Chain A
Amino acid sequence: MSQTSPAGSSQIDFSQAALEHLDALYGFAMVLTRDRGEAEDLVQETYLRAFRAFGRLAPDSNLKGWLFAIMRNIRLNQLRHDQSGPQFVEIDAEEPDRMQVLAQAATEPHATLVQKVEREQIRTAIERLPAHYREVVLLRDIEGFSYQQIAAILQRPAGTVMSRLGRAREQLRALLAHWYTGPATH
């Protein structure tokens, strides 16, 4: 995709290239908002801002990651203006009891669990994760971004991304283990 061509064709290039990521962006918008109407607004707003800023994007940039970063920034700004809405919470201070439960659940035999778990149930479990875990699982395991790319989107160090992803996966495993083997509190 050429991003250095004259304005007109550059914008057409943008339309063609950016629309390839519509489903992915909509998925991220759903993860961020959990509301179809808000997600659609967020996607539209993302394309609008990206379209206007496309000329400033370096030719070798990752378009998909750039679109995701724009979307997340828009959402964070919306939340700052809407204090009654859901808030992003830093997760470094997890409740100790809960972490212990999760650690126990994470020791369930994986192979048995994987055989039982169906796609739809995994999707539902991801949707039930807290927002900060949901987004990191989506970015890595659904959209396939690298740690560095996720760090750029979340504006966090790569080390934070790794630890957050680890906790998110533990909680996801715990959620699924809870469904299939009963509460993991024994």
Chain B
Amino acid sequence: MTMKECQHIQLLTSIYLDDELQNGERDAFETHLSTCAACRALVDQERAWLGAVRSARPLYQAPAELRARIEKNLAESSGVWTAPAELRRKLNQMLPQAAFPWQSRWPVRLPALALVLVVLIGVSWWWEKTHSLVSGFPKPSEFALMAVETHIRRLNGKLPLEFESNSPVAISDWFAGKVTFSLKLPNYQESSGQNKLYSLEGARLVALRNDYAAYVAYRMQKRPITLVVTTSAIAAPEGGEPVVSKGVTFHCDAVNGYKVITWSDRGLTYALVSDLEERGQQSCIVCHAGTKDRDFIEGLRPR
């Protein structure tokens, strides 16, 4: 047994314990251990050490809410005819209990029962989703809630911009190829020469139903404004108080103290979030700063 051999063994100990030595190296390593008590003790110490480190697994556990959200998103994206995740969850809970007492007596009726159950739960789910009333109006759409959540995450510093720029043209170009639609931000303010009413801060992508939506950050007199844009195929404006202005129906709501306006126009669906007064209609200035647009913004003001 030479000192050189022992030094070589020490160098290889971690690799041996990681099971990364090749067959020949491994055999030689183990042959040495069988004849060298000092190296054997060293390997045992190292093994115990690694075992202690590995006993810390798992380091983290995903929050149940995150798991539910991802399951829901994946289920919704698995196909047009896939039942909503919530519906499947309810069925999973209910069907086994209903099946066992009935199965032996009326096996033929079980599929019919399941079908009825599916229809009832489906109707119940649809009714709850579309008809729950808050303050006299249907509750805000999933898209509106997502936009408000995005706004809040931005305020809390949890949503860094992927592209920082105050140029509408540069931001429009940045989105090209990243989203499945063409988004052209108006640059009226830059070309009008008038005092700036708002500033553009930048943009990023945000996840929405297993696709990307465009997120644009503005600021008006130090008050942040969020614009989220997706296609009308992915999100439809609904819920809240419907207000028609210039032929477009705007859905106005307040969520957690933030004003959110959602609408669809020419194949795209928009959500605008701010903490501005009334319905937050002044936030529309970010795209409609021209004189001819004043009537349109006034049309959103509460009567």
What residues make up the interface of A, taking CB atoms closer than 8 Å to B?
Answer: 8, 11-12, 14-15, 18-19, 22-27, 30-31, 35-38, 40-41, 43-45, 47-48, 51-52, 77-78, 81-82, 84-85, 109-111, 113-114, 117, 119-120, 122-123, 126-127, 137-138, 140-143, 146-147, 162, 165-166, 169, 172-173
Contacts and interface: CB of A to CB of B under 8 A. Distances in A.
B79 interface: yes
B233 interface: no
Contacts, number: 136
Contacts of A147: 18, 20
A38 B58 contact: no
A31 B62 contact: no
A23 B59 CA distance: 9
Interface string B54-74: 111111111100110111011
B60 A30 contact: yes
A110 B67 contact: no
Contacts of A45: 207
What's the dominant secondary structure at chain A's contact region?
helix
A35 B18 CA distance: 30
B49 A141 contact: no
Interface stretch (B97-105, B120-128, B155-163): B155-163
Given A11-B78, A15-B78, A81 B162 contact: yes
A24 B58 contact: yes
A119 B56 contact: yes
Contact of B56 (A23, A24, A51, A142): A142
Nearest to B153: A37
A22 B63 CA distance: 10
B56 A38 contact: no
A125 B10 CA distance: 24
B134 interface: no
Nearest to A121: B56
A142 B60 CA distance: 10
How many of chain B's residues touch chain A, expressed as a range? 35 or more
A19 B71 contact: yes
A64 to B, nearest CB: 13
What's the dominant secondary structure at chain B's contact region?
mixed
Contacts of B163: 81
A81 B160 contact: yes
A142 B74 contact: no
B56 A40 contact: no
B130 interface: no
Contacts of B71: 15, 19
B158 A35 contact: yes
A52 B210 contact: yes
B48 interface: yes
B53 A27 contact: no
Given A40-B66, A48-B210, A51-B210, A23 B58 contact: yes
B62 A22 contact: yes
B74 A47 contact: yes
B15 interface: yes
Contacts of A140: 18
A142 B67 contact: no
11 contacts: A8-B78, A11-B77, A11-B79, A14-B74, A22-B62, A47-B70, A48-B207, A81-B163, A85-B160, A110-B48, A162-B20
Nearest to B205: A45
